[in-house]
């Protein structure tokens, strides 16, 4: 009996695996054409600065509306990384984000933009030149661009990574460590690499107010950043209580649904860039 059950389980399992492999292959095939079919777009999420609550920057977040429906970044970004498609897609993201920023600058909104980066892009020999070209095409200084990288990238090939980061840093580009605290725990890279900002992962922000462990971790990250003269962005801020805590403990920047979801450029302009956000934040923090 046990044997036959095991066999059935195996069949069930392998069928499930098959279906997943099938979906993956299907997605991969469609992802190869996503760029030329114009299925990719960017949403923009505001990043506000404390204490004023003004929108200081935006994070560009990639979206894929394929013929067969919207696919989540959590599903297609890893696929793009594994297949190498992230190199052309990532170049498109950077160029589009900077072009959009140019339009906003022309209308008097001098925001900065944060763009997510994959390890694979960083390893591409043409990467630094591509960034430089995208900046000059848009007529923007490197100081307007923030590249978000993950801890895993920082641990790879430091002999190649460090000079590349320094070169971009010299042109004014800054670097943020995304999802800080969720990756490898080696902190030595923080003193070796030209990083400007830590982004506290939203898993620590979520229960900040109710879970003393999360509160301790967030305070430790803020203390570390202060000592190392790094800026801090808290991700995933959804409540005024979280905001109050982060404000009290000296966090510099906030990002999350409380200030705005990722929005299309048109909606972003209509909803965010006309001052509404600052008012809401002042109310939320009890100031007038």
Residues that bind ligand C2E (CB under 6 A): 45, 61-62, 72-74, 77, 86, 90, 93, 116-118, 148, 178-179, 202, 235-238, 255-257, 262
- Alpha carbon 152 to its chain centroid, in Å, reads 14
Q: Which is nearer to Mg ion, 49 or 282 (CB)?
A: 49
Q: Which is nearer to Mg ion, 53 or 236 (CB)?
A: 236
Least Å distance between CB 119 and ligand C2E? 9
Rounded distance between C-alpha atoms, residue 189 and residue 154, angstroms: 7
Give the alpha-carbon dihedral of 144, 149, 151, 153, to 10 degrees: -130
Q: Which is nearer to Mg ion, 118 or 161 (CB)?
A: 118
Tell me if 254 sits within 8 A of 243, measured CB to CB.
yes
262 binds, among ligand C2E, Mg ion, none (CB under 5 to 8 A by kind): ligand C2E
Rounded distance between C-alpha atoms, residue 133 and residue 162, angstroms: 21
256 binds, among Mg ion, ligand C2E, none (CB under 5 to 8 A by kind): ligand C2E
Q: Which is nearer to Mg ion, 148 or 243 (CB)?
A: 148
176 binds, among ligand C2E, Mg ion, none (CB under 5 to 8 A by kind): none
Helices 240-248 and 212-228: angle between axes, nearest 10 degrees: 40
Which is nearest to 186 in space by CA: 162, 210, 151? 151
Least Å distance between CB 235 and ligand C2E? 6
Tell me if 179 sits within 8 A of 157, measured CB to CB.
no
C-alpha pair distances (Å), 243 with each of 116, 190, 258, 272, 286: 24, 26, 9, 18, 11
Tell me if 222 sits within 8 A of 253, measured CB to CB.
no
What are 254's two structure tokens? 């906030």
93 binds, among Mg ion, ligand C2E, none (CB under 5 to 8 A by kind): ligand C2E
Least Å distance between CB 2 and ligand C2E? 43
Residues that bind Mg ion in the complex, under the rule CB under 5 A: 116, 148, 178-179, 235
74 binds, among Mg ion, ligand C2E, none (CB under 5 to 8 A by kind): ligand C2E
Least Å distance between CB 165 and Mg ion? 17
Q: Which is nearer to ligand C2E, 53 or 236 (CB)?
A: 236
DSSP state of 230: -
Rounded distance between C-alpha atoms, residue 149 and residue 134, angstroms: 18
227 binds, among ligand C2E, Mg ion, none (CB under 5 to 8 A by kind): none
Tell me if 145 sits within 8 A of 124, measured CB to CB.
no
Work out the number of other CB atoms within 10 angstroms of the CB of residue 114: 25
Least Å distance between CB 4 and ligand C2E? 43
Least Å distance between CB 30 and Mg ion? 23
Region of 84 on the Ramachandran plot (φ > 0 left; ψ -120 to 50 alpha; else beta):
left
Q: Which is nearer to ligand C2E, 92 or 189 (CB)?
A: 92
Q: Which is nearer to ligand C2E, 45 or 197 (CB)?
A: 45
Least Å distance between CB 235 and Mg ion? 5
């Amino acid at each position: 009996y046990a044997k036959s059950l095991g066999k059935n389980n195996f069949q069930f399992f392998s069928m499930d695996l098959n279906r997943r492999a099938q979906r993956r292959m299907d997605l991969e095939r469609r992802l190869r054409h996503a760029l030329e079919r114009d299925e990719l777009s960017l949403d923009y999420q505001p990043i506000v600065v404390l204490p004023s609550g003004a929108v200081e920057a935006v994070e560009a977040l990639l979206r894929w509306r394929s013929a067969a429906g919207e696919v989540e970044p959590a599903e297609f970004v890893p696929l793009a990384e594994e297949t190498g498609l992230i190199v052309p897609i990532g170049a498109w993201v950077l160029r589009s984000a900077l072009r959009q920023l140019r339009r906003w600058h022309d209308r008097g909104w001098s925001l900065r933009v944060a763009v997510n980066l994959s390890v694979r892009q960083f390893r591409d020999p043409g990467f630094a030149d591509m960034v430089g070209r995208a900046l000059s095409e848009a007529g923007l200084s490197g100081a307007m661009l923030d590249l978000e990288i993950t801890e895993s990238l920082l641990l790879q090939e430091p002999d190649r990574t460090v000079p590349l980061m320094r070169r971009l840093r010299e042109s004014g580009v800054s670097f943020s460590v995304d999802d800080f605290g969720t990756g490898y725990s080696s902190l030595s890279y923080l003193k070796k690499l030209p990083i400007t900002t830590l982004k506290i992962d939203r898993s620590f922000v979520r229960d900040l107010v109710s879970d003393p462990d999360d509160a301790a971790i967030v305070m430790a990250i803020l203390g570390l950043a202060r000592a190392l003269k790094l800026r801090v962005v808290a991700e995933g801020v959804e409540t005024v209580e979280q905001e109050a805590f982060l404000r009290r403990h000296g966090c510099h920047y906030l990002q999350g649904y409380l200030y705005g979801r990722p929005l299309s450029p048109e909606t972003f302009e209509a909803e965010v860039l006309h001052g509404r956000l600052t008012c809401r934040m002042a109310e939320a923090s009890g100031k007038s």
